[in-house]
Amino acid sequence: MRRFSWYTFLTDEVAGMAYDRLGEDTGAEGVKLPYHQQVLKLGSEEELTLFGYCRASCKTFAFYLVTLITLGIPFLIVYWKPEWGVYMKRRRCSLMEADTLIIKDMDGQIYVSSVNSETVEAGFPSKYVISSHLTNGASNGVHNGASDSTHLTQPRHRIIRYFIFQHIKYIWIPGKLHFERLYGCDSNTLISSLLNDFRGYTVQEQMLRQQLYGRNAISVEVKSYFYLLVTEVLNPFYIFQIASIALWSFDNYILYATCIFLVSCLSVAVSLYETRKQSQSLHDMVEASNTNTATVLRSTAEKTTVEVEVNTTDLVPGDVLVIPGTGCLMACDAVLISGNAIVNESMLTGESVPVTKTPVTSSEGNETYSAEKHKRHTLFCGTAVIQTRYYGNAQVLAVVVRTGFSTAKGELVRSILYPRPLDFKFYKDSMKFILFMFAIASLGMSYSIYIYIMHQETILKTVVRTLDIVTIVVPPALPAAMTVGTYYAQSRLKKRGIFCISPPRINVSGKLKLVCFDKTGTLTEDGLEVWGVVEAKGEHLSTPVMDVSTLDHTSQLVACLATCHSLTYVHGELTGDPLDVKMFEATKWTLEEAAPGSANFDQVTPTVVKPSKREVYIDPPDITNVAETPFQVPYELGIVRQFPFSSSTQRMSVLVRVLGRPYMDLYAKGAPEVIQSLCKPESIPEDLGPILTQYTIQGFRVIALAHRTLETKLSWHAAQRTPRDQVECDLNFVGLLILQNMLKPETAPVIRQLKAANIRTVMVTGDNILTGISVARDCGMVGETDHVLLAKVTAPSAEHPAALTFEPADTPDILVQYSDDVDNKYTSINAGDGDPRYHLAVTGKAWALLCQYFPDLVPRIVAKGTVFARMSPDQKAQLVEELQAIDYIVGMCGDGANDCGALKTAHVGISLSEAEASVAAPFTSHTDNIQCVPQVICEGRCALTTNFSVFKYMALYSIIQFVSVLILYTAYSNLTDPQFLYIDLFIVTVIAVFMGYTGARHELVAHKPLGNLLGAVNMFSVLSQIALVILTQVIAYLYLLQQPWFEPNKPTPGNEEDNTVSWETGTIFYVSAFQYLTLCIAYSPGHPFRQPIYTNFWLTVSLVSLTVITLMMLLCPWSWLMELMRIKYDPENDLMMFRVALLLMIALHFVVSLSTEHFVARSRFLKKCFQWITCKREPKNKYKSVIRDMNEDLSWPPVGTPIYATLQT
């Protein structure tokens, strides 16, 4: 019997296929890919490049043989670099036969994943099944060496192949010979299919689909302490630490090795506790929204459906959920196909206002389902269904579209578990610097070998001393010391209510050059107040009315205000969008719904609104065949159907029937430009433009209102199925609703502070562009005398290509024109003639056309754009990417789910919302204003400065000890065990820990901290201090050699240990100990990014204490102290003149070191000198070049003159 293997099935399946399908694949761009390679989602954020590998016996044998010989070193290397293990043990092969994949994401990170195969039963979706009985191309009666009769008698084997990457399943498609991401019903599924094709799975169908999709669970594994311990210990840092401790122990530095071991154990324990705590917190957050059971429909053998209660982990895409009337917590993403649901989506949006979800309808049947486009019909995982309502005896049903980590909440958790790598130069430079230190170590090792050979020492001693050089030049504590400033900054931010889940972003915040702000809820208050209404009266708008309740109750404007909303009662309280609440409360009407406990409570019955002050009666329509005398009916309006608001349509509408009338009315409200486009031209008042400008330019939020009377034949049920576009047309303009949105008191001072610090500010909002410009002026983003130009783009037509026109926002008549006429000329603002103080304002519609037809001008637009209005969530993220493309370090501050994409895309995202969706932002502030932005920047600048300082200090610490040891090696000596311990543990470790404790200055200055560790200024700082260190130690050593009482140290023949108690050792120890203290002060800058050094209490105490102790050892050679530190001394002569001379050398080094660092290395003159030497002429950042080019181009921007596109797509 031949061996069972999935490769056999693959061979069977593709027998007879063309060679080009087995050989090379063609990428999405038409480029031929190697046979072992595939690209998934080319050009998207989810882009993955797959490389196939399979087992190679010879390479595997060789790997294990080398591992055995080298005592497991290759295992460590493979643990650190898993892809190297694949190269060593496997061979390249086609994806068809691969059992292991090397995966490269769009950020260049490398991962390794195994390809799994599973046997499946009959009935499994055939698209994914590889079967041994397929006879592709086998026309000669023999298939892969087996006859037809053999295939008929053999059992049919079916398997699937897949791999899981970051909790997402990618499955092999046999018909296409490549892997694809496994989607549920959220991809390529028509709305009509959701309505008609899903009636509940059988138990067997559910089991097969669960095998395909896996368990419906979002779980964050909390690793055991043992696992975390092994992972931590196998870190290269700790492996180096272990090797160093072993070397020191072998060299009889037992005390020092023991102390370092204990400190390392404490460090590991703290790290394990913090890691486990963070993992447990995320696990608890995820588990808090998990539910246990759900009710689904199951098909039976009798072709009927029954309700079955199942565990939520058993849900699969395509299951039909029965949503209970009392509500539930959603364990998956599901689309409503019948009934309404009131949902609390605060987990996703941060808004505590319940949202009404409506079912998809047959009118949308030809649309392909999209969770983003149809979010008003989708119940998202983790959100809470508060209440449901249905038609008659029908149930509230929803089809499961996504499960597990594919849901909206799953994607959120994945973004936290697998954040995108931070491309910050500091970390790259630090690795280069460590390699540079290794190069220095190699020189020291060579010198050490030379010295010990010249001294005719033993091979063992030579090897030990040579390896000891490595532990000195590359200190094991260096990686930990690099993060000390970030850790303290994170702690200080936490005390201010600002929480950071990505500490490396703190350093990046110190280099911010631009901050984008959302408007509503971020710059302005959350709440809106109704300022008044303006009613349309014929060809003109009437004067504004402040009290809406004084208007005629039967007017169309009041009816629109009273009905065009999605308000509902939840636990007896009127809830909904804050704008809708304020609007309805202004009418002083009453809203009535079926009360809990009533027969109609769970049914979809019209919500009724009516005047509350007094009963209003109207005459009924003409009624025939009624013998009674004429009568009147109460004036009540029933809301028959809602078309919810969405950011894409920028409007909402309702179908309403007045009690006693045989027809329905449609009322709509939304953005003025959108409502205007839906209205009959003759119904639009002539003075709408100027009046709209008058209010928007003052910062008011303006909502347009419209009405339409529908046909009498439209019935209740027909209304529920009518497509939105069929009724939202030919409207009559009714009036304007004016709302006031005040700036938060903290906004203007923060914007002024950022501008004074030369940090650019940009507004990105979904509101009206004129309102945005007004708020930008009020808060100081746009100066009082600055010009604002509107960038308008018209789509191409038969007569004209796409055109870009700049129009001054100060001209009232153009602010409300929505004409496509590109030939209009407007008075030019002299913005380009020597006065660069102008700002561009862009709408979302114009932005989309700009990116499509004017991609070459996008850098100029974003370099001068200050107000971006009517921007969708995706466009906000796209804007951030364009700003990053011209080398801005971008921050984003927002308060809602609409900002989540931009918050995650920005280098530094600061969320003012505590919603789970906003947790994916690096920073979350519990203070609901933008004061947190300068606080984060101040701490970032402080952390960046501190990390640079600590890094340079640790580098100099290594060099000091390196120089000391090489000098002592020359003198047949070395530092003693207590001296090493005093330097490393009491001086360097204490200083490195407390150096980062210095707090940040609270004032922002115009210049930013250095961000290039290997830049000329930093390298001058390090190299100059290295030169001073070497010079001082050499002079002290030479001075010692000139003393008449000096007796040089001599080696003891046959002794493996150095004679460490010598005059050379004592002299070098004194000088080097003070050098560590000197460099701590030199590398502890205060102004402008940190507090003065004396404000750091613990560092000041440490420096004073260590200075006093070291002075005592130098000037007071007490016998007990000398014996303790193992320093050579003369009981008969204290050699005070020599000691004072050493102190003068130390003092001189102190003065020169501090002067070099403060007056030379940190001076702007030095930076200019380096720029002159390197002939730097071009700006380093692209945005500076873009702005320079615009300022030099006197014709830019061409105000009023169209720029025609050369690119037509």
Rounded CA-CA distance 42/36 in Å is 17
CA distance 946 to 1091: 11
Total Cβ atoms within 10 A of residue 1128: 19
- Kindly state the tokens that stand for 308: 């079955």
Among residues 409, 399, 396, the alpha carbon closest in space to that of 334 is found at: 399
The token pair that represents 1076 in the structure block: 């560590």
Q: Helix, strand or coil for residue 524?
A: strand
> Cis omega before residue 1088 (within 30°)?
yes
Please report how the helices 425-454 and 459-473 are oriented relative to each other, as an axis angle in degrees rounded to 10. Answer: 160
Collapsed DSSP state (helix, strand, coil) of residue 544 = coil
Dihedral through CA 548, CA 551, CA 557, CA 558, nearest 10? 70
Separation CA 1067–CA 1143 (nearest Å): 11
DSSP letters for 113-177? EEPEEEE--TTS-GGG-EETT--TT--SSEETTEEHHHHHHSPP-EEEEEEEETTEEEEEETTTT
Contact 1063, 1047 (CB under 8 A): yes
CB atoms within 10 A of CB 899: 32
Cα separation of 901 and 933, whole Å? 18
| Contacts (Cβ under 8 Å, ≥6 apart) of 621 | 660, 661, 662
Q: Which residues contact 497 (CB under 8 A, 6 or more apart)?
A: 925, 926, 927, 932
C-alpha closest to that of 1128 among 1051, 1048, 1044: 1048
Type of residue at 841: A
Residue numbers annotated as active site: 518
Cα angle value 100/101/106 (rounded, 5°): 165
SS3 category, 6: helix
Instruction: Cis check for the bond before 1197: say yes or no (omega within 30 of 0).
Output: yes
What's the chain's Rg over C-alpha atoms?
37
Residue 639 CA to residue 34 CA, distance in Å, equals 61
Give the CA-trace dihedral at 893, 895, 898, 903, to 10 degrees.
30
Closest CA to 514 of 754, 799, 839: 754
- What single-letter DSSP state applies at residue 606? -
Q: Per the structure block, which two tokens stand in for 818?
A: 């929505």
Q: Which of 510, 421, 514, 513 is nearest to 948 (CA)?
A: 510
798-803 long-range Cβ contacts below 8 angstroms, 24+ apart: 800/1204, 801/853, 801/1204, 801/1205, 801/1206, 801/1208, 802/849, 802/852, 802/853, 802/854, 802/1204, 802/1205, 802/1208, 803/1202, 803/1203, 803/1204, 803/1205
Q: Give the 3-state secondary structure of residue 552.
A: coil
3-state DSSP percent of the chain in helix, strand and coil, to 5: 45, 20, 35
Joined together, the tokens standing for residue 512 give 């911010």
For residue 99, count other CB atoms closer than 10 A to its CB.
18
Contact, 564 vs 705, CB < 8 A?
yes
